[in-house]
Amino acid sequence: MGRDNQPKERQRKDLERKRKHSRAPCERILIVSEGSKTEPQYFDEIRMRFRLPVRNVTALGSELGTNPVKVVQCARELFERGNLRKSIEPRAFDRVFAVFDRDDHLGYFDALCQAEALDNKLKNDERRFIPFKAIVSVPCFELWLLLHYEDIRTPIERGEAMCRLKRHIPDYAKGMNNVFATTSCHLETAIRRAETIANQFNVREGLFTHVAELVRLLTGLCP
C-alpha cells in the first residue's frame, strides 16, 4: 500500500512546487509624484519594459497639488482609501513612494519629516506594516536623467540641469515619451553616479537623487 501511494505523493509535491513558482512574488508598489506626466510616464515605461503586471506598479501624479507636503498627503490618502475610479483598492500595496523635487518648495522639509513619520506605520491589506519613502531629487528629477550622460559632483540649479540635459536629448521636455528607452543604455552608469553623490551630499543639501533607488527596485521585480 505504501508503494502505491508514493507516486501520488510525488505528484502532490510536484504540483505544490509548480504552484509556488507560478505565483508572482512581486511586491505591489504605489508611486505618487509631484509631476503629473514626466515621472509617472517614466516609471510606467519601466513597468512595461520589464513586463511587470499593472497591479504591481501603480504610478500617477498627485491630485492634491505639487507642493511636497501635498504629494505625501496624496500618497497616504490613496493608500488608505484607494480610488475605485482608477481600480485602486484601499491598502493594496506593499510599498509607497512619494516622488518630489527640492526646487524652491517651502514645504520640502516638512514633507521629508511627514514621510519619515509614516515609514513602517501604515498597515496594508495583509496587516503588514509597509515602507513609506520619499524619493527626492535636489534640485530636480532632471538631475537623475542628466547623470546618465555626465558625472556631476557639484550642486547645480534646476535651469542649468535642464539646459545641460538638452545637450544630450535635444527634444527633451516635460511629459516627453520614451525617456527611459532613450536613457536606459546608460542606466548602470547613472546609478553609480547617483550613489557617489549620495555619499557626498544628502536630501537636505547640495546635490542628490533617490530615483536610482526606486529604479533599481522596479527593474529587479518579477518576472
Which residue has 546618465 as its cell numbers? 148
- Give me the pLDDT at residue 204, please: 76
Alpha helices, H only, the chain: 2-22, 38-49, 68-81, 108-118, 141-146, 158-168, 179-183, 187-200, 211-219
Domain ranges of the chain: 29-219
Of 113, 114, 119, which Cα lies nearest the Cα of 132?
119
Angle 187-200/211-219 helices, nearest 10 degrees?
140
**CB–CB of 141/35 below 8 Å?**
yes
Question: Among residues of the chain, what percentage have pLDDT more than 90?
Answer: 77
Helix (H, G, I), strand (E, B) or coil at 1: coil
Residue predicted with more confidence, 7 or 15: 7
What does DSSP say about strands 57-61 and 129-130: parallel, antiparallel, or unpaired?
A: unpaired
Give the model's confidence band at 9: pLDDT under 50 very low, under 70 low, under 90 confident, else very high.
low
Identify the weakest region by mean pLDDT among 18-32, 120-134, 172-186, 200-214.
Answer: 18-32
Query: Can you give the C-alpha Rg of the chain in angstroms?
Result: 20
- Give me the pLDDT at residue 137, please: 95
Cis ω before 25 (30° cut-off from 0): no
**Mean pLDDT across 139-166:** 96
Question: DSSP string covering 169-184, please?
Answer: STT--TT-S-HHHHHG
Q: For residue range 12-71, what is the model confidence (pLDDT) as tens digits?
A: 555 445 444 444 468 999 999 998 999 999 999 999 999 998 889 999 999 999 999 999
Helix (H, G, I), strand (E, B) or coil at 11: helix
- Give me the pLDDT at residue 15, please: 47
